[in-house]
Structure 1
Amino acid sequence: MVFKRLLGSLGVGGPTVDTVLDPGPVLPGGDLNGQVQLRGGGADFDIEHITLELVARAEVEREDGEGEGAVVFDRFTVGGGFRLAEGEERGVPFSVTLPWETPITELYGQGLGIVLGVRTELSVAGAKDKGDLDALAVRPLPVQEAILEALGQLGFGFRSADLEYGHIAGTGQRLPFYQEIELTPSSRYAHAVNEIELTFLPFPGGMDVILEADKRGGLFSGGHDTVTRFTVGHDGVGHQDWNALVDGWIKQLVEHRGAHASHSSYGHGDPYGSAHGQGGRHHDQHDHEGHRRAGPGMGTVVAAGAAGLAVGVVGGMVAAEVVDEVGDFFEGDEEEEEGDEG
């Protein structure tokens, strides 16, 4: 991004800032590296703090229905405590660790429609100003990619992905939202389910996988949701028959008659101390039942020649739109905040 002058509370003569992230996507739980580049304004300024905020666009339940809002899900102080002279240029390098539950924004280089941003805030002489915003790209962990690849090879397709504000009860979820990846069923299960929703909750030792099926109703019964939960480890990804394992998960999910949580035979135990096999996908702050959104539909396979998950993108259109949307969405959110402060 080009240098953005800090207007607002610092005035026209204030310093400018440009946060440059290292190129390429990052991993959940991995390091985010870059540099905050400052340029002095028309006078000397004392830079008290340089703070990075991780911001996400999430679906939020409101009194007037469902809407979208910007959610800050982590903050890092990466510098400060120095004087920036008039016209001085200074770079402040940083390396911060992303939360393990950071949502994935792309698969095989194609965007999933998830909007994440890194927002830079300067604290100067007691005033704070949000001066720069950059799109954050996150690729799957090896275990996440293995599961998604298996689903693609089993015939499941990508429908849409979003972030839901709220918590999944009975899990060790840390962030204030969770990611849902909605899948169209394979031909083997199309008679039984309308769609399957997938949520990853990674942690240092492994990952919880929550699967929810929107089951079709029968002649004498209505449709309903069923839930299963599995735990897998980060190690040994290349030695696991993921197609067989994931197909077993789906079979167990579809055969369930009600909400139920399960433990996978492949994993490293429950890191949260909660009992598998108890409870289902009930949300503390978000009522999921009956909530269905139409996705963009099936499109081209993400990578040419790959047998992986088919994603509803054509020629990278979604990815390009997301990049443009990051600034538009969060800048609009900042305008609302400024209006509230005024």
Structure 2
Amino acid sequence: MVFTKVPAPLGRGGPSLDTTLMPRAALPGGSLTGQLQLLGGDADCDIDRLTLELVAQVGAAPEAGGPASEAVCARFTLPGSFRLGRREQRSLLFDVRLPWEAPVTELSGAALDVTLDVRAELTATGTRDRSDLVPLRVAPLPVQDSLLAALDRLGFGFRSAGLEHGLIPGTSQRLPLYQVIGLAPAPRYAAVMRELQVTFLANPGGVEVILEADKPGGLFAHGHELLNRHLVSHGDADRRDWDATAEVWVRQMVASHGHHSLPAPSGPGAARRRARPGRQGAEPAPSTTTATGHGPGLVPPADEGAGDPARGVASGKQAPAGESAAAYDGSPAERGAVTAAPGEGAGQA
């Protein structure tokens, strides 16, 4: 729990704001629930607006170096305005929808080196002040979890996770940032790749899986890297043979760049996958789009708000002039719900 005194210019003795989140991990595209607790100051105060921001710490690309920078992934305006009395205590429950592309902060319950926070903002009598940051836990969707678990079983061990600015061409990416999960290559692929990088771009219908690999000394010479894109529906999480899917995707990616003498599939169930038809053995039908580009193959945004609006709920609207598209939260009807907690809202002398 973070208890934050709202600073000047609201003045000494002004209202204070306390933000709490539900302890369970949220999911990309899922609900973010919590509570705002307000305490009135030395005098009555008109609260014009309460806002929540989803804030990520985004690092520069590894080759560029430099410190991380703050990026607002989404902004949620809670409806309603009210007068907060002197010393009045009021609790407001909120329930907003996270962006589908929200980065995950944990895998199998273990925390990643990814910082994602929620920050409350209070606007009173035309002055806007922010609270401290409250850490948010986000767990992977079933498709994300299933693929990463399959890659782990195939020998691709977890190495790193981070956030980077940019847009991946040829995808439906909406946020002006993306998450990269770096995996050490399985031993049988160590000669043809240095690292396998996985990026997930989720949406209401499913997940775009972006696979990227490189190798020192010439697999992707002159700074070229290969991007393979796969589209998976959310319902496939329980229907696919993920070990077979992961094996095929990796082999397709490497073979498409001229390495056709690849090691035979191995690991759990490899012989079964080679021998039996149907779900148990047939290689998944290719669903791959391959693109070759310079460097990381990314198109950097023109500014912090470039690209489609990052909305807490899908609205299909553009941000109005003067407001960052990356933080636009749609029309009032699409904004997060907020209710007073039972028994709260009474002023205290």
> Match of 2:78, SS?
strand
Whole-angstrom distance in 1 between the partners of 2:289 and 2:253: 14
Where does the alignment leave 5 or more consecutive residues of structure 2 unmatched? 259-283, 302-349
Distance 1:133 1:79, change over 3 A: farther
The residue type paired with residue 248 of structure 1 is V
| 1:265 equivalent in alignment to 2:280 | no
Superposed displacement of residue 265, structure 1: 3.1
Any conservation in 1 of the 2:2–2:132 contact (CA below 8 Å)? no
Superposed displacement of residue 65, structure 1: 5.9
Any conservation in 2 of the 1:163–1:178 contact (CA below 8 Å)? yes
Counterpart for residue 174 of structure 2: 174
The residue type paired with residue 284 of structure 1 is V
> Match of 1:9, SS?
coil
TM-score w.r.t. the length of structure 2 is: 0.73
Candidates 297, 307, 322, aligned match of 1:282 = 297
Whole-angstrom distance in 1 between the partners of 2:52 and 2:286: 37
Any conservation in 2 of the 1:154–1:243 contact (CA below 8 Å)? yes
Whole-angstrom distance in 1 between the partners of 2:2 and 2:204: 36
> Match of 1:235, SS?
helix
The residue type paired with residue 31 of structure 1 is S
Counterpart for residue 190 of structure 2: 190
RMSD of Structure 2 on Structure 1 (CA): 2.3
> Match of 2:199, SS?
strand
Counterpart for residue 17 of structure 1: 17
Higher RCO by CA contacts (8 Å cutoff, separation 6 or greater): 2
Whole-angstrom distance in 2 between the partners of 1:222 and 1:266: 28
Whole-angstrom distance in 2 between the partners of 1:276 and 1:192: 20
Any conservation in 2 of the 1:54–1:117 contact (CA below 8 Å)? yes
Deviation per CA, 1:154-183: give whole Å up to 9, x if none: 011111111001111111100010000011
Counterpart for residue 217 of structure 2: 217
Distance 1:236 1:83, change over 3 A: same
Equivalence map 1:118-137=2 (5 Å):
118-137=118-137
| 1:70 equivalent in alignment to 2:90 | no
Superposed displacement of residue 132, structure 1: 3.5
Counterpart for residue 240 of structure 2: 240
Select the structure of larger CA radius of gyration: 2
Any conservation in 1 of the 2:207–2:234 contact (CA below 8 Å)? yes
| 1:107 equivalent in alignment to 2:107 | yes
Whole-angstrom distance in 2 between the partners of 1:83 and 1:161: 44
> Match of 2:188, SS?
coil
> Match of 2:14, SS?
coil
Counterpart for residue 139 of structure 2: 139
> Match of 1:257, SS?
coil
How many residues end up aligned between the 2 structures? 271
Superposed displacement of residue 278, structure 1: 5.4
Superposed displacement of residue 218, structure 1: 5.9
Distance 1:241 1:161, change over 3 A: same
Any conservation in 2 of the 1:34–1:94 contact (CA below 8 Å)? yes
Whole-angstrom distance in 1 between the partners of 2:141 and 2:214: 26
Counterpart for residue 253 of structure 1: 253
Superposed displacement of residue 255, structure 1: 1.7
Counterpart for residue 297 of structure 1: none
Any conservation in 2 of the 1:49–1:77 contact (CA below 8 Å)? yes
Whole-angstrom distance in 2 between the partners of 1:266 and 1:193: 21
Distance 1:222 1:90, change over 3 A: closer
Percent identity (aligned): 48
Counterpart for residue 29 of structure 1: 29
The residue type paired with residue 37 of structure 1 is Q
Whole-angstrom distance in 2 between the partners of 1:224 and 1:285: 17
Superposed displacement of residue 81, structure 1: 1.0
Counterpart for residue 47 of structure 2: 47
> Match of 2:189, SS?
coil
The residue type paired with residue 191 of structure 2 is H
Whole-angstrom distance in 1 between the partners of 2:250 and 2:97: 33
Where does the alignment leave 5 or more consecutive residues of structure 1 unmatched? 259-263, 268-274, 287-342
TM-score w.r.t. the length of structure 1 is: 0.74
The residue type paired with residue 195 of structure 2 is E
The residue type paired with residue 132 of structure 1 is D
Whole-angstrom distance in 2 between the partners of 1:189 and 1:224: 19
The residue type paired with residue 282 of structure 1 is G
The residue type paired with residue 109 of structure 1 is G
Whole-angstrom distance in 2 between the partners of 1:229 and 1:251: 14
